[in-house]
Amino acid sequence: MRTAIVFYSMSGNTSYAAELAANALGGELIPIDPQKAYPDKGFRRFFVGGRDAVMGRTPPLLPYSFDAEKYDLVVIASPVWASRPAPPIRTFITENCEALKNKRIAVILTSMGGGNPKAAATIAALAGQAKPEAYVELISPKDRPEERNEAKLKAFIDALNN
């Protein structure tokens, strides 16, 4: 199985989860970042990012390398912002939606609180699919080992390998 793990991460939780998934699946990591970094401190951190997520904005991305032809499975990993996918992920999917329609799509979300299946459904819908083949939401995976994140991620990987 040829796998890409496309991720955006502001503060390291999603990149941490993406790396674990890439190791387990033997996939290639594809980081994406907005041209203009989101504020990562203070009130503006939640205000600016949350506003763009709620408004469905698609901020321009720094150049990235994604050749859809190379992959069967595309894992899309995003932080949850205001119960939604982070805007750079929305940009990536919008830019690649034609190619993603024909791929296996799986979603990794990271959040502080959990309970955001709609964000995963949004990612699948933007990619032209009814639902992701597999989906997992991890709670602060970098800092909170007590959240059973490893077990949840293992179940996600197993679902994709079966």
Ligand X SMILES: Cc1cc2nc3c(=O)[nH]c(=O)nc-3n(C[C@H](O)[C@H](O)[C@H](O)COP(=O)(O)O)c2cc1C
Residues that bind ligand X in the complex, under the rule CB under 6 A: 9-15, 45-46, 49-50, 79-83, 110-113, 140
Helix (H, G, I), strand (E, B) or coil at 110: strand
Kindly tell me which of 69 and 146 has the beta carbon lying closer to ligand X: 146
Shortest approach of ligand X to residue 47 CB, angstroms? 8
Shortest distance in whole angstroms from residue 72 CB to ligand X: 25
In sequence order, which residues have a C-beta less than 8 Å from that of residue 50 and are 6 or more positions away? 81, 82
Are 101 and 74 within 8 A, CB to CB? no
Cα of first residue to Cα of last residue in the chain, in angstroms, is 11
Q: Report the residue number, 132 or 141, with the smaller CB distance to ligand X.
A: 141
Provide, rounded to whole angstroms, the least separation between the CB of residue 147 and ligand X: 11
List phi, psi (to 5°) of 85. Answer: -65, 150
CA 8 to chain centre: 6
Nearer of residues 91 and 111 to ligand X, judged by Cβ: 111
Question: Among candidates 143, 136, 152, 123, which has minimal Cα distance to 11?
Answer: 143
Which residue number, 27 or 79, has a Cβ lying nearer to ligand X? 79
Least spacing, CB of residue 59 vs ligand X, in Å: 13
Confirm if 106 and 160 have CB atoms less than 8 A apart.
yes
**Shortest distance (Å) from residue 2 CB to ligand X:** 25
Q: Tell me the C-alpha distance between 8 and 109, whole Å.
A: 10
What is the number of the residue whose Cβ is closest to ligand X?
A: 49
Nearer to ligand X, 43 or 130 (CB): 43
